[in-house]
Amino acid sequence: MEISHLQRARYAYNPKLPAILREELENIVLKRGETTEAVSDQGDLKLFFRNTYGKPIVGFEKGKNSDVGKKISVGVILSGGQAPGGHNVIAGLFDGLKKGSAESQLFGFLNGPSGLIENKWTLLTAETIEQYRNTGGFDIIGSGRTKIETPDQFAASLKTAKDLGLNAIVIIGGDDSNTNAALLAEYFVENGSSIQVIGCPKTIDGDLKNEYIETSFGFDTAVKTYSELIGNIERDANSARKYWHFIKLMGRSASHIALECALQTHPNICFISEEIQAKQMSLSQVINTITDAVVKRADQGDNFGVILIPEGLIEFMPEMKKLIEELNDTMGVYGHEFAKIDSFIERLYFLDSYISEASYNLLKNLPTQIAEQLLLDRDPHGNVQVSRIDTEKLLISVTEKRLAELKKQGVYKGKFSTYGHFFGYEGRCAAPSNFDADYCYSLGFTAFMLIATGLTGYISSVRNLTAPAEQWIAGGIPLTMMMNMEQRHGIKKPVIKKALVELDSVPFKTFAAQREHWAVNTCYLFPGAIQYFGPPEVCGQPTKTLLLERALKSG
C-alpha cells in the first residue's frame, strides 16, 4: 500500500499519555470512588442490570499491583460510524497489553459486532498495528452497525469469546454501541462468565459526554475538518460577494458539530436544533430568520452569506416533526400497500386518508423533491431517513419563495444566488488531530488498565482535557451511570442518554451573544487545515466547546 509523506510522518508521532499511565504497570493500582446511580429510571435499571448496576467511579494511583503482568487475551470491536482516532484506541490497547505481558493477544473482530456474533476475527500483531498508528478510518478491522439484542446473538457472542479464550472484550462506539457493551457485560455475568466488557466513547456528533466523558473521540478532528471547509467557503463568499451558501452538517439528534463550527468560523447564521425545539419554531419562523439577514445584508450591498444547518433540523420544527411521525405511523401499518404505488401524485392521494389535514397540506406544499424524499427514503423499520433529506435545499427553496414576495412588496432589492452543501463523510475518517491522537491512545491504554484491574461494565474515561496530557486524569465510569429507559419500537429499553446542546451552557451562550452581529456583518474566521507540527497554540488546542466548558468548571 502506498502512503503519503504526511502519513509516513504521522507514523513517527508518539502519542502522549497521562502521567499515571507512564508509570511501570506494577506500580499502578485502582482507586475506587463513590458508588453511582443512573441519570434517571434508577429503579428499572437496577432491576435490569442486577449484576452490574451501581458500581463506583474509578481512577488510578500509585501502589503495588502483582496481577497486571498476567498473560491475557482481549477482543476489540469497532462499532457504528467511523470517527478519527479509532486506530489509536486500538494501538493504545495493544501497547498496554504488550507492556503487561509480551504473550498477551489482541483479536480484532471484523466489521463490527457481527464479527463477534459470527466468530470472524483477525489476530492483531505489532506489524499490523504499526501500519495504522495516528491514521484516520476504521479500516484496520472494519466497522458495522449490527446490534447484539436477540437471545441467539448474546449466546453466540459468549460462545465466540469462550472459544477464543478471551478474558475481555472492548467495544469502541457511540451511545448505542456502549449500550450494547453494558448489556453484554450484564449477560456475561448473569451466565456465569468472567469475561469482562469495557467500552470506549466514540462519536463525531459529540452527544456521548458527561462530567467524566468530557468529549467523545473524533469530535475534535471532525469539527476542525468541517471548519476548514466552512472557512474556505466563507473566504470564497467574501471574495465573489454574490452567493449564499447553505451548509448542512452532521448531527441528527444533537447540534454540537454545528455549534462548534459556528464558534470556529463565525457564519452569518447557525441553527441549533435544540433551540428550535425549545422555542417551537416553525419552518416559517426559521425562514424569517434567514430572510431578515438576507434583506439587511442586501441593504448594505452584501448579497452573500453562509448558513450552518444541523442535519436533524427538520425533525425539530413542530409541524415537520408531526408530519414525519404521522408518515412513520402510516408506513408501520400500510407500508407494503404504499410500496406498490409508483406515482408520487398517487402516493399523495393515498396518504390523504391516513394523515391529518395539516400534515397533508404541509406535505403537498413542500418542494416536490423534498416531499418525494419524505415518501421514498425509508429505513429498515419503515421510518423516514432524515439524514437523506436535503434540508439545505428545502430552506433554499422556501427562502427564494419568501424573498420573491418581499421583492414584490418593495422590501427586498438584492440578488439571491445560492449553493447547497452537505459536509458529512468528509470529516469521519480524517487523520486525527494531535489532540485526538493523544486522547484516543490514552482511552485505549486506559481500557487495558480497566481490564487488568478486573473491571467489567465500564467505559474508559480520560478527563481534564484542556490541561497538558501529563495532567489528564485516567479512569473509568460504570456504563449504567449514563443510562435511562427510552421507548424504542413500542418497548421501554435501557439506553445511554444522548447529551444534547444545553441552551444554558457557556458554549451556546457565547454563540448566542454574538449571532445577531454575525448575521448582518461579515465577521468570518478562517481556521485553516489541521496542523500537526508547530507551537501548541496552533497544533495542540482542543475545541472551543471544550475550552469554554472547562473554563467554567475550573473558574
- Catalytic site residue from 95, 175, 205, 390: 205
What does DSSP say about strands 28-35 and 56-62: parallel, antiparallel, or unpaired? antiparallel
DSSP single-letter state for residue 215: S
- 44 catalytic? Reply is no
Q: Rounded to whole angstroms, how far apart are CA atoms 194 and 343?
A: 57
Q: Is 390 strand, coil or helix?
A: coil
Cell numbers for 471: 495532567
Q: Rounded to whole angstroms, how far apart are CA atoms 233 and 243?
A: 10
Q: Is 258 left (phi over 0), alpha (psi -120 to 50) or beta?
A: alpha
Alpha-carbon Rg of the chain, whole angstroms? 25
Exposed, middle or buried: residue 178 (CB in 10 Å: 0-12, 13-18, 19+)?
buried
Sheet with 305-310, strands from edge to edge, namely 269-270, 305-310, 244-249, 418-423
CA dist list (Å): 88 to 141, 330, 435, 466: 13, 45, 11, 20
Cell numbers for 481: 451511570
Give me the residues paired with residue 419 across strands.
245
What does DSSP say about strands 305-310 and 269-270: parallel, antiparallel, or unpaired? parallel
- Longest CA–CA span in the chain (Å) reads 81
Q: How many CB atoms lie within 10 A of CB 257?
A: 28
For 449-474, the three-class secondary structure string (H helix, E strand, C coil) is: HHHHCCCCCEEEEEECCCCCHHHCEE
Q: Locate the DSSP E strands across 36-139.
A: 56-62, 73-78, 105-109, 121-124
- Angle at the Cα of 380 from the Cα atoms of 377 and 385, rounded to 5 degrees: 35
Counting every residue written for the chain, the total comes to 555
| Residues acting as catalytic residues | 205
